[in-house]
Amino acid sequence: MFPDETSRSSALYQEARRFMPGGNTRTTVFLKPYPIYAAKGEGCRVWDVDGIQRIDCINNFTAAIHGHAHPVLVREAMDQLRLGTAFGMPTQSEIELAKLLTERVASVEQLRFSNSGTEAVMNAIKAARAFTSRPVIAKCEGSYHGTYDFAEVSMDSTAANWGNGAPRSVPYSKGTPQGVLDDVVVIPFNDVDGAAEILRARGRDLAAILVDPMPNRAGLMLATPEYLSMLREVADEIGALLIFDEVISFRLGQSGAQGLWGVDADITCFGKIIGGGFPVGATGGRAEIMQVFDPTEGKPAVPQGGTFSANPMTMRCGRAAMEMLDEAAFAHLDNLGERARAGIDRAFRDTGIEGQTTGYASLLKIHFTAAPITSYRTAQPDAQAASRLARLNRELLNRGVLMASYGLMALSTPMTVDDIDDVVAAVAASLKSMTE
Ligand SMILES: Cc1ncc(COP(=O)(O)O)c(C=O)c1O
């Protein structure tokens, strides 16, 4: 049972605390009173260091779309390992992954790789600034785009600092310079008129509008088609670039969220699933914009390197992972996602606890509220909802299911309908225990 002070995880955590602040290297995986340490994964299951097996609905925060140790990816990785992991030279593998991605996403004519979604977003912002010769970006309140200073602004604004009206630029990390806050305009998600008004007012300064079409941390609700169309229209009108952060939403289909909505971005950020389990980021867009990175005539407008950028381990496994994500794989994932969301929503109704899921395709998020969730503000859990979510997480851990502590579940291709039914049954039993 979790927590268990006599467990190996607990002992490891005590040791970790000596060498890392809070025993931790990644805030997202921190758990009180101690995080559960993974020993191995296979398919959709993970075994912890105490030998306990669980169905993995975290999947490394959406990255592991094929689960763990997929035989095809293991073979690709082993083959490349024997040939060398990274060189001070390009490899053919980067061309192949770049080709595949540009073929899938119509708005992406060229792209460049990096090692994380954070870098993908940072490079997109830098490209937009260089291309437009403007300093300011706009982003949605509550949306997470990694840890570049500008992208972090207003990530976790709260009722205490958002006031009654339009969002403000509030720091996420303590010590964020005022200059950063001044160069980020925060807009409300899914509020067509409110956001358009703010964007038009700052139009002349804006290099880019950065948007995640299904922002996970902000509530995992879909952008409305009207909202995305407005962003496209206003960006064109004011001469700013539209950046889609598809680091997570590339899970929604072969051409990502933009394929589903039929709205083209000027620049798209990728990460997570395109690395086949290895660290990755990519920034792509119209060739005309991507020229800011072109070194053929000397120092480019935006120089970009990265010791491990486009390393062949990532590139090979990324390509293999993407090739396995064909129409049938997406249909399978969509089916699992629908089943999971419907089952969990049913469990809420059956137990009478107020709650619901948001999400689409292979992603879902659990909210302990019955009120409609349309924006970051409506998705913010109150104290009771937050404590119920923490309790659900603990109940699920003890029923063999891994869920991200903030309620996210990301499904994987090795999962079967039976696995989903097990997850739903675990949620239903957990909710029931919460009524007793
Ligand atoms: C939408 C989005 N953008 C960017 C990032 C940053 O990616 P990374 O953690 O690889 O830096 C994340 C990470 O969760 C994300 O969800």
Q: What is the pLDDT of residue 166?
A: 87
Pairing, β 356-358 against β 281-285: unpaired
* Mean per-residue pLDDT, 387-401: 98
- Shared-domain flag, residues 146 and 216: yes
Residue at 24 is within a domain? no
Residue 297 Cα to ligand 1 midpoint, Å, equals 32
CA-wise closest residue to 249 among 220, 226, 283: 220
Q: How does residue 273 score in pLDDT terms, banded at 50, 70 and 90?
A: very high
For position 180, what pLDDT does the model report? 98
Q: What is the pLDDT of residue 320?
A: 98
Tell me, what CATH number does 164's domain have?
3.40.640.10
Say yes or no to pLDDT of 258 above 80.
Answer: yes
Confidence of residue 256 (pLDDT cuts 50, 70, 90): very high
Confidence bin at 47 (pLDDT 50/70/90): very high
Best mutation site among 247, 269, 273 for ligand 1, i.e. most ligand atoms within 8 A of its Cβ? 247
Q: Which of 119, 140, 144, 267 to mutate to test the pocket of ligand 1 (most atoms within 8 A of CB)?
A: 144
Same domain, 288 and 424: no
Do 46 and 89 belong to one domain?
Answer: no
- Do 214 and 335 fall within a single domain? no
CA-nearest residue for atom 3, ligand 1, is 145
- What is the DSSP pairing of strand 45-48 with strand 38-42? antiparallel
Identify whether residues 202 and 113 lie together within a single domain. yes
Select from 62, 140, 145, 308 the residue to mutate for testing ligand 1; criterion: most ligand atoms less than 8 Å from CB.
145
In a domain, 215, yes or no: yes
For the CA of 116, the closest atom of ligand 1 is 10
The CATH number given to whatever domain includes residue 425 is: 3.90.1150.10
Q: What are the CA-CA distances from residue 51 to residues 7, 9, 48, 70, 224 (Å)?
A: 10, 10, 5, 20, 44
Ligand 1 binding site (Cβ under 6 Å of any ligand atom):
61, 116-118, 121, 144-146, 212, 216, 245, 247-248, 271
- In angstroms, what is the span from residue 145 Cα to ligand 1's centroid? 5
> pLDDT by residue (tens digit) across 110-146?
999 999 999 999 999 999 999 999 999 999 999 999 9
Q: Classify each residue of 227-265 as buried b or exposed e, where b means 16 or more C-beta atoms within 10 Å of its C-beta.
A: bbebbbebbeebebbbbbbbbbbbbbbbbbbbbbbebbb
Q: How far is the CA of 247 from the centre of ligand 1 (A)?
A: 6
Give the total number of structural domains in the chain: 2
> Which is the closest atom of ligand 1 to the Cα of 143?
1
Question: What's the burial of 331, exposed, middle or buried (CB within 10 Å: 0-12/13-18/19+)?
Answer: exposed
* Torsion angle of the four alpha carbons 430, 433, 435, 436, in this order, in degrees rounded to the nearest 10: 180
Q: Ligand 1 centroid to 65 CA: how many Å?
A: 15
Average pLDDT over residues 41-65: 98
Domain match, 194 and 263 both: yes
pLDDT of residue 381: 94
Structure tokens at 139: 């982003």
Contact predicate 68/42, CB 8 Å: yes
Which pLDDT does position 414 carry in this prediction?
Answer: 98
Domain boundary among 324, 344, 363: 324
List, in order, residues 6 or more apart from 384 with CB less than 8 Å away: 368
121: closest CA among 283, 251, 266? Answer: 283
Cα-to-centroid distance, 254 and ligand 1 (Å): 19
The token pair at 244 is 């889609």
Give the rounded percent of residues in the chain with a pLDDT score beyond 90: 97
User: Given a cut of 80, is residue 164 above it in pLDDT?
Assistant: no
Cα–chain-centroid distance for residue 318? 17
Question: How high is the pLDDT of residue 165?
Answer: 82
Q: Does position 58 have pLDDT exceeding 80, yes or no? A: yes
Token pair belonging to 32: 């009180």
pLDDT at 163 over 80: no
Neighbours of 29 (CB within 10 A): 16
Q: What is the pLDDT of residue 177?
A: 97
Contact 374, 220 (CB under 8 A): no
Token reading at 309: 């950028």
Question: Which tens digits make up the pLDDT trace of 337-374?
Answer: 999 999 999 999 999 999 999 999 999 999 999 999 99
| Centroid of ligand 1 to alpha carbon of 98 (angstroms) | 19
Determine the distance separating the centroid of ligand 1 and the alpha carbon of 346, expressed in angstroms.
31
The owner of tokens 């996420």 is 172
Q: Given phi > 0 = left and psi -120 to 50 = alpha, else beta, which region is 34?
A: beta
Residue nearest to atom 14 of ligand 1 (CA): 146
pLDDT at residue 370, as a whole number: 95
| 260, 161: one domain | yes
7: in domain: no
Q: Tell me how far the alpha carbon of residue 363 lies from the centroid of ligand 1, in angstroms.
A: 15
Angle between helices 312-324 and 71-83 (to 10 degrees): 160
- Is there a single domain that holds both residue 406 and residue 294? no
> Quick one: pLDDT band at residue 160, thresholds 50, 70, 90?
confident
* pLDDT for position 25: 95
Last residue of a domain, one of 266, 293, 324: 324
Q: How far is the CA of 183 from the centre of ligand 1 (A)?
A: 21
pLDDT given for residue 313 in this prediction: 98
In the three-class reduction of DSSP (H, G, I as helix; E, B as strand; rest coil), residue 349 is classed as: helix
Atom of ligand 1 nearest to the CA of 118: 11
Task: Quote helix, strand, coil % in the chain, to nearest 5.
Answer: 45, 15, 40
Range of the domain at 291: 71-324
